[in-house]
Amino acid sequence: MKSPKPSRAELAEQKRQVRFITQNLEATYGIPHNDRPDNPLDELIGTILSQSTTNINSSRAFASLRQRFPDWDAARQARPASIAAAIKSGGLAKTKSVVIKNVLEEILARCGNYDLSFLRTVPLAEAKAFLTSLKGVGPKTAACVLLFSCDRPVFPMDTHIFRILRRVGLVPEKYSDEQAHELMESLLPPKKHYSLHINLIRHGRLICRPQNPKCSECSLIEHCAFGQTSL
Ligand code: SF4
């Protein structure tokens, strides 16, 4: 479904609201810096492993995978069952092992090696298209790789982020992940994608929780439709 186009005045107001939220969260939690591992392929495999599990479990699965297969070519040549055994602590090991093997095979076939550093410099649409064309890699995984390991201006959605943006009234209830993602990319000030992503997740864990959000303690109340109604 194509999102309805906002008027110029609505767009200006939405941008103002995003600036307000970004600045307030930075004043509350600080400005996060991106010190994640800088290898895009590591990030891609790590993001696949992080699906439907906790950070702790997916980090364990990633470490175990690297220990079992110190280079990615060895993992590509392995049977899915061997990959699954190495990543079992991350859950959904059977499915994820097949995705990982396919991704490694496709990357080698198309690039001739496992170096994805070109994703940092090719046009953003091309980088997204490359990643999402890999079987089992969706827009959210692609956005994580591009933001965290390539420092590109993309904005992965997360359940905390989705909830807060809906409550403050920026993202309509019916919007899909992809529509919300597209909307936010059009509203964010340059170079604030990482900061807002990280700070919204912090805010969602500490204040704007799924149940009983602490609206009376929230620095976003001034711009939050849900908070103002509930107080
Ligand atoms: S005012 Fe309440 S609902 Fe709105 S962002 Fe803050 S905690 Fe969430």
Which residue's alpha carbon is nearest to atom 8 within ligand 1? 208
Q: Which residue has the higher pLDDT, 60 or 91?
A: 60
Rounded CA gap, 38 and 23, in Å?
Answer: 27
Instruction: Out of 94, 135, 140, 214, pick the active-site residue.
Output: 140
Enter the pTM of the model. 0.88
Is 96 one of the annotated active-site residues of the chain? no
Say if residue 169's pLDDT is above 60.
yes
Say if residue 2's pLDDT is above 60.
no
185 in a structural domain: yes
Choose the residue to mutate in 205, 207, 212 for probing ligand 1, maximizing ligand atoms within 8 Å of C-beta.
Answer: 207
1 in a structural domain: no
Say if residue 40's pLDDT is above 90.
yes
Contact 195, 188 (CB under 8 A): no
Report H helices in the chain.
8-29, 40-50, 55-68, 72-77, 80-86, 93-111, 124-132, 139-144, 159-167, 177-187, 193-206, 225-230
The arithmetic mean of pLDDT across residues 96-108, rounded, is 96
Check residue 4 and give its pLDDT. 64
Say if residue 43's pLDDT is above 60.
yes
Q: Are residues 28 and 44 in the same domain?
A: no
Rounded CA gap, 150 and 92, in Å?
Answer: 27
Q: Model confidence over 110-130: pLDDT tens digits?
A: 999 999 999 999 999 999 999
- Give 191: exposed, middle or buried? Use CB within 10 Å, 0-12, 13-18, 19+: exposed
Counting from 1 in the atom list of ligand 1, the atom nearest the Cα of 227 is 1
Which residue's alpha carbon is nearest to atom 2 within ligand 1? 215
Q: Are residues 51 and 134 in the same domain?
A: yes
71 in a structural domain: yes
Question: How far apart are the two ends of the chain, measured CA to CA in Å?
Answer: 34
The phi-psi region of residue 213 (left if phi > 0; otherwise alpha if psi is between -120 and 50; otherwise beta) is beta
Say if residue 30's pLDDT is above 60.
yes
How far, in Å, is the centroid of ligand 1 from the Cα of 10?
A: 21
Q: Which residues line ligand 1 (CB under 6 A)?
A: 164, 167-168, 207-208, 213-215, 218, 220-221, 224, 226-227
Q: Are residues 107 and 145 in the same domain?
A: yes
Say if residue 36's pLDDT is above 70.
no
Say if residue 85's pLDDT is above 80.
yes
Check residue 51 and give its pLDDT. 86
Which residue's alpha carbon is nearest to atom 3 within ligand 1? 227
Question: Helix, strand, or coil here: 2?
Answer: coil
The domain that holds 165 is classified in CATH as: 1.10.1670.10
Percent of the chain with pLDDT over 70: 97
Rounded CA gap, 167 and 211, in Å?
Answer: 12
Check residue 37 and give its pLDDT. 57
Q: Model confidence over 6-21: pLDDT tens digits?
A: 778 888 999 999 999 9
Domain with 99 in it? 40-149
Q: Are residues 127 and 44 in the same domain?
A: yes
Check residue 1 and give its pLDDT. 54
Which residue's alpha carbon is nearest to atom 4 within ligand 1? 227
